[in-house]
Structures are given as C-alpha cells and as structure tokens.
Amino acid sequence: YHRRVFFFFFFFFAPLFSQMDPLARLAQQFTLTDATLVSIAEHMAREMERGLANAPSSLRMFPSYLYTRPTGKESGPFIAIDLGGTNLRLVKCDLDAGKVVGTFQHKQAIPEAIMQGTATQLFDFIAQAAREFFKQNHIEGVPHVGFTFSFPVKQSGLATGTLQNWTKGFSASGCVGQDVVGLLQAALHRSGVQATVDALVNDTVGTLVARVFEDPACIAGLIVGTGSNIAVWEPISTIRTVSLDQISPTAKEMIINTEWGDFDKACAVLPITPYDRAVDQASPNPGHYRFEKLISGMYLGELARHILLHLMYCDVFPELSRLRQPNTLPAASVAAIAEDSTFGLSGVRSIIEALGGNPMGTDLHRMQRVCRLVICRAAKLVAAGLFCVVRRGANDMHDVSIAVDGSVFEMVPLFRSELQSSLSRLLGHPIVRLTLTKDGSGKGAALVASLATKSRL
C-alpha cells in the first residue's frame, strides 16, 4: 500500500512540486560556496604550473618576452594600435622621465563584415585608420608602435607572434597561423604609413604595464569586458616554454599571458549549468573558452536570456516574443536590470516592455533576481581566479595591487562589490587594491614600445 502511495505521489505530484519554484532551483545552481571557489582556484594553480612547464594544460601561459620594468627615464612620443574587441583604438602617448604627460586617442567601431572578412580587409582597415590618425595628429617621421592584439597569440619574440585562434566574434580568414605583426606591418606599407611595430602586446599585458609605471606593487593585469583574461609576472625559473638563449641572462621575471578564458575546458570544476551549455553551443567556438563564457560581457546577456526563456517555458515569467531571438538582451541591459533601484523598478519595466511584455510586479523582481544571480556568479568566479593569482604572485599580502580594465568591471557596481568582498573573504580579509586602469591596453602598448625602443629587447 505504502509503495503504491509513493509511486502515485511521485508520478502525479512531484512534477508539480518541481515547477513550483524554479527560481529557488536557479539560485541553488548559481550560488557558489567558498569551498567551491577554493577548489576552482586550486585547479587553476595546477593548470598554471602545467602550462608553464609546457605540459598539457587548459592555460597556455604564453610568454610575452617582456621582462624589463620601467626605469623612470622613458621619454618621447609613442603610438599604440589597439585591436581588443569590437572597437579599434589608436593612442598617442607622450612620455617625459617615465611619466605620461599627455595622451590623445581615437576610437572607431569595427564593422562585422571586416571582423568576419579576410586578413587583408581587416589589416588594411587598421592601416587606413592609422594613416588618418597620423595625419590628423601631425605625427611625422617613423613613429614607434606598440600593437595591442587581444587574441590568443603564441609569441616567439617581443615583436612577433602567431595567432592561435580567433575569439570575441572575429573570424577573419587568412590570420590563424600567421604572424600578426607581419600582417600589420605589410598593411601599413600598402597604405603608405611609415611606422615600425616594436612590440606585440596582449591587452592584459598592456594593462599591467600601464599600472606598473605608477604602482610597482601591481602583480597582474585583468580584463573583464567583452572577453576576459589576465596577465601575471612569473619568475624566469618557472617558465619552461622559452629557451634561455631567447631572453636576457639578467632577466629574473617575465609577464605571462595566461589566456585564462579557456581555463578548465573539460569542465572538471567549473559550475556548468544547462543555460551555460546552451550559450556555449550557440557561440562561434563551442567547447572552448568555457570560463570566459561564464564571466564576460559578450555572454552574460545571452546567459540571462536563456534563463528567462526557461522561466517562460515554466509559466512563471510572461511571454516576451522578442526574447526568443538571439542577442536581444545585451549585457548592458542585464547590468541595468540588476542595478535598478527606482521606485517600482521602472527601469526593469521599460526593458521588459521594449521586449514586448506587459509585466506584473512579480515579473520585475524575478527578472532582476535572474540578472543579479548571473552577475554575482561571474564576480565570484573571477574572485576565485584572483585568489589563485594573489596566492601565487604576492610577496607581501598587505601590499597587493591588480590593474583592471573592461566594461563589466567599470560599469557594473554590483560586479565590483561582489568581486572585492568575495576575494577579501577568500584571502582572510586582507585588502587587495583592484585599480581601474582605464584604457590601459592602449597606453600600455605605447609604454611597452618605449621599453622596447630604449633597451632594444
């Protein structure tokens, strides 16, 4: 009898209970304990060590070949060309005695047709923009250029590097496997631009260098924007991916580009949900950059959209026809929803109405709850990564600085506060300075060019 009652309950009533509070189940999936974060950090440390040892690892730990810190004597004008995401930036940076005394920059959007076209189209677009920038700013002679290229590149020197694969929606043909400095230098020549590309710099490396000029205690450069990555100082003695004849015998450390967006591609420790799998499968590179897809601005909007679609299916959220189309809920909207503190959540209401809905009060709070869960999980995952980095790289736990750039960190207060509090808690409450290094990737590339020119690295 009791067995019959159990099966009757299970088959007829359990499905009803499973649909009673899908938001509670969602919160359970997206709420990460400190123990989980520590486990992620420990796995990341092991992957870093394997990558540095040239063993199989999800962290490629690319050497930057930059092992010179500022001396305080760097002077002159230097140029940065920054290809980091959906925008191209050109920066003129004037140095005097190691100090930035003036900058001027220009930014323009990169058309999708160029991002997904050919190598010639992409690099000619960059070269033509550089030609106009030099002309408008009366840059004469043969300027020294640092090239920030924020994609996975395996460098074999400070001014040479082979593109491993595209990310962030780029897919221009004829680039993978090629030296991107050579492609840029050839395009500059075709456009009649007299310039020398002295350094190839990942945006994280540039952000780190830009901060080191002002704060020698800076141990890492973090980007959390369209994509995510981090660069760190590593002792030369730990790096097995370069031969000693490629570096100065006096070098003691080198900046390493971790490419942490691809961390744990096997998903051994990352908290992957069905929504994350849906985002991954719809991305340009399924199965790759799983960590980046949990934390970066390019994917947070799609992640929230897939969650809301599930809630619509469960009949606990109103039908929003436009939400069924990909990329209709950008990360900026997710942030605005999460941060909305207006009376009656009027900001959330306007976003839902723009998506074709007529929300009730409970709908507003549910949508905000979803967006806050997505952002807070992202912040905690970044905190786990920084916990790993600080434990490995900080000599003095009471004087630690990390340079940070990117729209998610800059524009989303909830993300910043959750990141800082989670990191402090994991470390036992010492304060790590997370310093916004605005446009550090542009200035940093120019500063690296100054170091390369001065020391002939």
Which residues are catalytically annotated?
168, 203
Q: Work out the number of other CB atoms within 10 angstroms of the CB of residue 412.
A: 26
Q: Backbone dihedral region of 289: left (phi > 0), alpha (psi from -120 to 50 degrees) or beta?
A: left
- Indicate the length of the chain as a whole number: 457
CB under 8 Å to 60, separation ≥6 — which residues? 51, 152, 154, 164, 258, 259, 262
Smallest CA-to-CA distance from 290 within 248, 208, 228, 336 is with: 228
Helix, strand, coil proportions of the chain in percent (round to 5)? Answer: 50, 20, 35
Q: Give 142's Cβ-side CA count (13 Å radius).
A: 8
The identity of residue 54, as a single letter, is N
Give the alpha-carbon dihedral of 279, 283, 286, 291, to 10 degrees.
Answer: -60
CB under 8 Å to 393, separation ≥6 — which residues? 219, 220, 232, 233, 234
Q: Cα 266 to chain center, whole Å?
A: 20
